[in-house]
Amino acid sequence: MPGKVAGVELELFDSGKGDPLLWLHGAQGFDPRHEVSGLLAARYRLVAPSHPGFGRSSLPDWLDSVDDISYVYLELLDQLKLDQVHLVGCSIGGWVAAEMATKAPQRIRRLVMAGPVGVKLGAVDKLDIPDVFAMPQDAVDRLMFHDAAAMKMDPSRMSDDELAIRVRNRETLALLSWEPWMHNPKLKHRLHRATMPALLIRGESDGLVSAEYLQGYARLLPNARTLNIPKAGHAPQLEQPKAFVQAVFRFLGE
């Protein structure tokens, strides 16, 4: 915990050596015990904050959008004296990463977004991203994961603290993404500023971010390409951590 960053008490994981890599988690939050964390920290300095309102990070009254979070993380880079970083964001973390990339493209060497949301590409009367708050959790899990049974969380094995964090994460996700649903109408008009090399990753079984949505997202960036990871859904970093990290390493090492 580096103390307050832009008025936010920010929970921060900082481990490993090498070029700095800023990791922006998805709706599940960040857990340093996940395999992907160790794999990344073995080659890079992994800087992984919990978003405001997620994990044990505070949520000030004035912060109510993903765009707000992007400014917090730019100030975090200033505080850590990191002039440039590789930036990897998953799902809503990919949205935060995209906002950052439009504001300070010179700070980002390479950009990776896995299952990113944040732009509106389809018809105005149809959701691009399914409403996960309007369906039972089992249905959400089937959209989220290639193997929903293997990834299902068992609340009986979780501590009260872990359960409280999961509920808080869900509440904050609703606050940040509800209206307009899962996007910032202004973002797609700014993405031309994100000129760094970019890789957009999708798990082939992702039921939330379609292949068409990912391709449309990539076309808004000047220097982007896409990659599919087999046997993975919306969180390939969790279902296929080795394949995910190998793809990230190849791209960042180019």
* Cα angle for residues 83, 85, 91 (degrees, 5° grid): 135
Q: What is the pLDDT of residue 3?
A: 73
User: Mean per-residue pLDDT for 162-167?
Assistant: 93
Distance CA 96, CA 118 (A): 8
CB 90 within 8 A of CB 37: no
User: Mean per-residue pLDDT for 55-73?
Assistant: 97
Q: What is the pLDDT of residue 2?
A: 55
CB 169 within 8 A of CB 57: no
For residue 148, what are the CA distances in angstroms to 37, 71, 171, 240?
21, 35, 22, 13
pLDDT in tens, 215-252: 999 999 999 999 999 999 999 999 999 999 999 999 99
pTM: 0.97
Q: What is the pLDDT of residue 81?
A: 97
Q: How far apart are the first and last CA of the chain?
A: 32
* Cα angle for residues 189, 193, 198 (degrees, 5° grid): 105
With CA atoms as reference, report the closest residue to 19 among 49, 44, 46. 44
List, in order of start, the domains of the chain with CATH numbers.
4-252 (3.40.50.1820)
Q: What is the pLDDT of residue 156?
A: 84
- Whether residue 144 has pLDDT greater than 70: yes
Provide the pLDDT confidence category of residue 155 given band limits of 50, 70 and 90: confident
